[in-house]
């Protein structure tokens, strides 16, 4: 195929790295690859990862994707990286990683976040100054935590990078960041699109952090060319251009064609997210709505819940169920799980804003404590959190005819029906459930094209909806789901 234009999209997530090969000419995905990561967990909310695992997984997933596509890596014209947001990677002046990366789901720096939030003047002060309310998962409190817990190491910081920035640095040797992922640091102003240097000065008056900041680039700009040694290691073209990349939500937006108003993307991954494109930074008065920048030149009002497939996974392990058996039990239980309600806040929770919460089960009786009801309750409980967030976005003026569903949970027909009923909105999946990796590949093609206007054409050609997955709300289900949701809200209010 002489007219193929091949691009590599990488998504480095919490659980693993995924790679796909996109032909931007036909809009077809030709091959996939993946490799797993492990977590370093501690009782105090520590959630970290060894960055060397990311590099190994990147390499493995790329080799697999090239093999499954049956293409020569020398034909790859460009690549782009989607990364888990908020994570902190620290390098010394030799470019060496100083310690494991603290991740988005790490809550060890909650006390530091509380103090920084107070310094900013609370939620309203943070919103006014940054356009977002800093949360424990954000990068900024991890910097203060490092200063307090690892002072020697803190004094060696020469570069502060997010996970996707670190991978770009590995690929090109360059330190830079783009606006979408930078929005989740807590030291970036989403309205003016600039670093908040004063906040970093407050953490460390020496100016060290300020000088360690990466340079900001636009979403359609390249980071640079891939380093020859890394190209050889990955088996791809040494002339391949490395696009800016971005956070997983920003790349997921591109990968679901969510680049103009009217579309809602909902991701059912380890965490749950709901977001929609906005042309203006209309910052919500609701602290839980993060008005991040998009990686397509606009903004991306977003809510994120900390617990989704991690909670359903725990329930499956407890009851020793595979996915099929779990889904069958969810389907067997009635809406509202006969009164069993789960608040699935196993990681604490961001939406609703309960960082110190733990999970709980309510409404148990001798007759309703069944495996089916427990399975149903965990799926409903996680989905109610997304409904709570969607309502916040709706009060901020968001309207959409349908929801584009992505992430592991979207593969389950029963979960799709539950989402449609709880949200009272039609849901449809994209053909590619790996929307972040697809978005990265599309962004690489956009960068390679050199035309800021070509993104809409690329999304039109490469993002395909799966008509078989379309799920409409059923009127009597909607009413029953609303009742169950109101019970959930009452239980949340007791916290």
456 vs 255, 257, 350, 429, 463, CA distance in Å? 11, 8, 32, 19, 10
Q: Whole-prediction pTM value?
A: 0.92
pLDDT of 168 reads 98
SS3 state at 375: helix
Distance CA 424, CA 433 (A): 22
Paired tokens of 70: 């049956």
Q: Which of 106, 165, 196, 248 is catalytic?
A: 248
Cα of 482 vs its chain's centroid, Å: 27
Of 440, 472, 492, the closest CA to residue 7 belongs to 440
- In this predicted model, what pLDDT tens digit does every residue of 177-188 receive, in sequence order? 999 999 999 999
C-alpha separations of 39 from 14, 103, 291, 309 in Å: 8, 9, 28, 16
Give the pair of three-digit tokens for residue 76. 């790859």
For residue 461, the model assigns a pLDDT of 96
Mean predicted confidence (pLDDT) in 257-286: 91
* Homologous superfamily in CATH for domain 6-247: ATPase, nucleotide binding domain (3.30.420.40)
The answer, yes or no, to whether residue 254 has pLDDT greater than 80, is: yes
Q: How large a percentage of the chain has pLDDT more than 90? A: 88
- Select from 284, 304, 282 the least CA-distant residue to 191: 282
Name, in order, each residue with C-beta under 8 angstroms of 305's C-beta and a sequence gap of 6 or more: 271, 272, 273, 349, 350, 351, 382, 385, 386, 389
The predicted structure's pLDDT at residue 2? 52
E strand segments, 193-255: 194-195, 215-217, 222-225, 241-243, 246-247
Residues in a beta bridge with 302: 275, 290
Give a three-class secondary structure readout of 115-166. HHHHHHCHHHHHHHHHCCCCCCCCHHHHHHHHHHHCHHHHCCCCEEECHHHH
Buried b (16+ CB within 10 A) or exposed e, 88-118: bbbbeeeeebbebbbbbbbbbbbebbeebbe
pLDDT digits (tens, 9 = 90+) for 290-335: 999 999 989 999 999 989 999 999 999 999 999 999 999 999 999 9
Domain 257-429+465-495: CATH class, spelled out: alpha beta
Query: What confidence tens digit (pLDDT) does each residue in 384-428 have?
Result: 999 999 999 998 888 888 999 998 899 999 999 999 999 999 999
Say how far apart CA 97 and CA 89 lie, in whole Å: 7
State residue 86 phi and psi, 5-degree precision.
70, -15
Residue in this structure with the two tokens 């996974």, named with its chain if needed: 313
Report whether pLDDT(1) > 80: no
Pairing of strands 246-247, 47-49: unpaired
What average pLDDT does the segment 454-476 reach? 96
Q: Do domains 6-247 and 257-429+465-495 have the same CATH topology?
A: yes
The shares of helix, strand and coil residues in the chain, as percent rounded to the nearest 5, are 40, 20, 35
The CA distance from 82 to 435, in Å, is: 10
Per the model's pLDDT, the better-predicted residue between 351 and 469 turns out to be 469
CA distance 350 to 311: 15
Contact yes or no for 203/151 (Cβ under 8 A): no
Residue 74 confidence (pLDDT) = 97
* Whether 391 is catalytic: no
pLDDT, tens digit, for every residue of 41-56? 998 899 999 999 999 9
pLDDT for the residue numbered 399: 81
Domain ranges for the chain, please list them: 6-247, 257-429+465-495
The two structure tokens encoding residue 199: 């906040």
Report the pLDDT averaged over residues 196-200.
98
Orientation of helix 323-332 relative to helix 309-319, angle to 10°: 100
CB 34 within 8 A of CB 191: no
Res 317: pLDDT:
97
Tokens 């900013």 found at: 120
CA-CA-CA-CA torsion sign (33, 273, 168, 47)? negative
Whole-angstrom distance, CA of residue 487 vs CA of residue 183: 34
423 and 223 in contact (C-beta within 8 Å)?
Answer: no
Is residue 57 pLDDT above 90, yes or no?
yes
Partners of residue 246 on adjacent β-strands: 82
Rounded to the nearest integer, the mean pLDDT of the chain is 95
CA nearest to 142, candidates 31, 37, 49, 4? 49
Q: How far apart (Å, rounded) are the C-alpha atoms in residues 277 and 255?
A: 13
pLDDT-derived band at 134 (thresholds 50, 70, 90) equals very high
Question: Taken in order 395, 400, 405, 407, is the CA torsion positive or negative?
Answer: negative
What length is written for the chain? 495
Average pLDDT over residues 251-265: 94
């Amino acid at each position: 195929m002489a007219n193929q234009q091949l691009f590599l999209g990488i998504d480095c997530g919490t659980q693993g790295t995924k790679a796909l090969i996109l032909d931007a000419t036909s809009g077809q995905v030709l091959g996939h690859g993946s490799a797993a990561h492990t977590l370093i967990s501690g009782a105090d909310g520590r959630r970290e990862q060894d960055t060397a695992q990311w590099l190994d997984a990147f390499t493995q997933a790329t080799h697999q994707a090239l093999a499954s596509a049956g293409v020569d890596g020398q034909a790859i014209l460009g690549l782009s990286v989607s990364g888990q947001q908020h994570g902190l990677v620290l390098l010394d002046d030799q470019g060496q990683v100083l310690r494991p990366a603290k991740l988005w789901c790490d809550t060890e720096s909650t006390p530091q976040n509380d103090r920084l939030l107070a310094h900013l003047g609370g939620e309203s002060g943070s919103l006014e100054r940054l356009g977002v309310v800093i949360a424990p998962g954000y990068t900024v409190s991890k910097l203060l935590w490092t200063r307090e817990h690892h002072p020697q190491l803190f004094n060696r910081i020469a570069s502060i990078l997010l996970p996707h920035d670190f991978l770009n640095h590995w690929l090109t040797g360059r330190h830079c960041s783009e606006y979408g992922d930078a929005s989740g640091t807590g030291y970036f102003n989403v309205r003016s699109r600039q670093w908040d240097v004063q906040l970093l000065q407050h953490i460390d008056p020496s100016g060290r952090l300020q000088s360690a900041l990466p340079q900001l680039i636009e979403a359609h700009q390249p980071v640079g060319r891939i380093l020859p040694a890394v190209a050889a290691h990955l088996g791809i073209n040494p002339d391949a251009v490395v696009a800016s990349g971005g956070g997983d939500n920003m790349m997921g937006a591109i990968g679901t064609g969510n680049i103009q108003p009217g579309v809602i993307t909902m991701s059912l991954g380890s965490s749950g997210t709901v977001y929609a494109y906005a042309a203006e930074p209309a910052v919500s008065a609701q602290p839980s709505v993060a008005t991040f920048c998009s990686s397509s030149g606009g903004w991306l009002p977003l809510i994120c819940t900390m617990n989704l497939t991690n909670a359903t996974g725990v329930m499956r392990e407890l009851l020793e169920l595979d996915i099929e058996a779990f889904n069958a039990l969810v389907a067997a239980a009635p809406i509202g799980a006969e009164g069993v309600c789960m608040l699935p806040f196993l990681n604490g929770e961001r939406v609703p804003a309960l960082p110190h919460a733990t999970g709980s089960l309510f409404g148990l009786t001798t007759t309703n404590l069944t495996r089916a009801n427990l399975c149903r309750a965990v799926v409903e409980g996680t989905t109610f959190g997304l409904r709570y967030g969607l309502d916040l976005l709706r009060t901020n003026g968001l309207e959409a005819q349908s929801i584009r569903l992505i992430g592991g949970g979207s593969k389950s027909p029963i979960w799709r029906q539950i989402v449609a009923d709880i949200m009272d909105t039609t849901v449809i999946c994209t053909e590619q459930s790996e929307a972040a990796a697809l978005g990265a590949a599309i962004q690489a093609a956009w960068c390679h094209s050199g035309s800021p206007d070509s993104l809409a054409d690329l999304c039109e050609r490469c993002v395909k909806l799966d008509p078989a997955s379309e799920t409409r709300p059923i009127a009597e289900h909607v009413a029953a789901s609303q009742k169950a949701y109101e019970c959930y809200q009452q239980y949340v209010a007791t916290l």
